[in-house]
Chain A
Amino acid sequence: MYRYDDYDQRLVDERVDQFRDQTERYLRGDLGDAEFLPLRLQNGLYVQRLAPMLRIAVPYGLLDARQVRKLAHITRHYDKGYAHISTRQNVQINWPRIEDVPDILAELASVQMHAIQTSGNCIRNTTTDPLAGVADDELEDPRPWCEIIRQWSTLHPEFAFLPRKFKIAVCGSREDRAAIHSHDIGLEIVPGPDGENGFRVLVGGGLGRTPVIGSEIRPYLERRHLLSYLEAILRVYNLHGRRDNKYKARIKILVKAMGVDAFTAAVEKEWESLRDGPTTLPDAEIDRIAAFFSGPAYASVDAAGEAAVLEAHCASEPIFANWVRRNSHAHQVPGYRAVTVSLKATGNPPGDVSAAQLDRLADLCEAYSFGQLRTTHQQNIVLADVRQSDLLPLWRGLQAVGLACPNAGYLTDMICCPGGDFCSLANAKSIPVAEAIQARFEDLDYLYDLGPLELNISGCMNACGHHHIGHIGILGVDKKGEEFFQVSLGGNQGKEASLGAILGPSFRREDMPDVIETLLRVYLDHRLEEETFLQTLRRIGMQPFKERVYDNANAR
């Protein structure tokens, strides 16, 4: 894990001072609302429907136990005792007072954390695979690159007032668990001709009102050029992105308007004057950062012995065995597994975690996972390095605080934005829909029979709940002041990324569990033996789903 040196610490401390000054000037009327707006957003502070919301940065999702305890303390002392994990792996608290925010930022700085650029029209938190560094299909750990990008993008003087927000994701594995196709820039680590890894560069992906799959502008970029090339892309965007309409201001619109070839040519031209300059990364710097992520001091364990202990534990505790099967993942190191802690238990707003749960997670990661955990863009927590013989005590510890829900990757492990209960942009309340679906599909055997299924819910077309890339996507829409929900099918976030297609006219909130159940019946009726929902949908098309859902609706 990256550790601040004096430079890093000084920067976040000075940022706290700067924001304290800005907040004081705002509160005494010296800075107007419109002036304070971008300044507070670039420190993660929104003014929401009921209260301000503070979004705290969790760079590429990595936290240590001390930081988790600090978050628990902040939610208790300054908020209502719980936090929310966002789809950018960040942490949100929904009830701080504006005048307390500088103190909260100072608390964060004391544990090497901040809220820099978690909102606003600037470069946001770079996200990656929650299994980075441990996944068995990994070519290279993407986190050192995320940290290199974090430092480059933090307080970048040229790119603080972009046309719109800007999101970068990095993937270093065969399977894409970072949704790089739906980011402004997606970077895929790929092997180069000379055996050194570099980057495949995608630009112009995004969700929101105009969902687009990113376009490749460079099949291979040598790693030392990463930052100067990013700088060239950002400069072309900063100078030419639209500023007259916020809904057409993302880089995806510029790439479409210019055409991928012309956009690529503009980037390459801009890059001519930047490449091989001082921003070129020396090997020593890449090595210095990579050393922070070299992995914990794994015990050299007897893998067969670990497996035998786990098997015995599973045999004695069937509920535990099921949780291991559903919520743990293969690990690079023999004898270890990675664990998903689901924040999607029935009745729990997806992604919410209480202060008591945070404290327990801090204890458990110290006891069983080298004192670190990760937040995921699926709004869960991952303990990445657990010995197989430790899984049982870990599970007991999680169970005691309601964190042992065995649904990782299944229907009820849904992504859901905070929606109209909190967010002033939302058209509709997304959490009650999520809770109604969770309640309907509580039967675990049925859930497992449905197989891996991603259901994503957004309360408005800004798509914070990533509905476009859910196998089933649900979007809240407003029709003459009434909440309705539009359903789309066939989205996917992996390397075979695709955007969902709209099923048809939207539904009332109370009908949503029936609609989802009908869709799943169609799948179960048509599926061939091992087919997933997505495979069946791709084979039989949308029509059978459409017919059954709307016939049922007409019959009602």
Chain B
Amino acid sequence: MTTPTPANGTPVQARLLRDGAVVADDWLPPAEQAPGDGERRILTLAQWQAAGSPAGAAVQLEAGDDPATLLDALPGLALVAVQFEAFTDGRGFSLARRLREAGFTGELRARGSLLPDQAHYLRRCGFNALEFTDPGRLAQAQERLAVFSTDYQGAVDQPLPLFRRRA
């Protein structure tokens, strides 16, 4: 994988936990200005709508956004990011489940204020990518993706509740 380089030439150091592995991020975070040509940048919902809701894009939802605005376009999107303003704001967990229940199969990424201790729940709700700016915390999150070896409820990772799986 190549590390993307933004317009000013500074290499991006951000690393990501994707499908359980630590990888270099191949998307740039949302910014106020529209992305340059060929730049892989996550768009805000407003930017994506202003650009005519293009397929293949990466779109970021804020916790209060209504995912209904994305539902029709979901099959064509490469990535949906959910921005956590505070790690105690649990709306993103429900947003993620709604997106997966609506059939989204692309990358679903949690970013913003997160704790490594939330990795297990985030994964269960359908996030397959977690962003942590601090490398130590990224490693901690990786170790905590499956702190529980089983779960009572059905969720995105395992739709069957334990009562349908008990041996």
Contacts and interface: CB of A to CB of B under 8 A. Distances in A.
Contacts of B151: 11, 155, 157
Given A22-B117, A152-B161, A157-B120, A238 B90 contact: yes
A18 interface: yes
B88 A121 contact: yes
Given A22-B117, A39-B117, A160-B121, A7 B166 contact: yes
Interface stretch (B25-33, B50-58, B152-160): B152-160
Contacts of A121: 88, 90
B155 A278 contact: no
A21 to B, nearest CB: 8
B149 A14 contact: yes
A158 interface: yes
Contacts of B163: 151, 281-282, 285, 288
Interface string A187-221: 00000000000000000000000000000000000
Interface of B is mostly: loop
**Which of B88, B121, B155, B160 has the most A CB atoms < 10 Å from its CB?**
B88
Nearest to A234: B94
Given A160-B90, A161-B88, A285-B163, A11 B155 contact: no
A357 interface: no
Given A35-B115, A39-B117, A158 B94 contact: yes
A243 B87 CA distance: 12
Interface in A155-191: 155-163
B115 A278 contact: no
A154 interface: yes
A282 B162 CA distance: 12
A157 B158 CA distance: 12
Given A11-B150, A14-B148, A159 B161 contact: no
9 contacts: A17-B147, A22-B117, A157-B93, A157-B124, A157-B151, A159-B93, A161-B89, A238-B93, A282-B164
Nearest first, the 5 A-B pairs at minimum CB distance are A161-B90, A157-B124, A157-B121, A285-B163, A151-B152
Given A157-B122, A160-B90, A235-B97, 19 more contacts: A11-B148, A18-B147, A31-B115, A154-B152, A155-B148, A158-B90, A158-B93, A158-B124, A160-B93, A161-B89, A161-B90, A227-B161, A235-B94, A235-B98, A238-B94, A278-B161, A278-B164, A279-B154, A285-B164
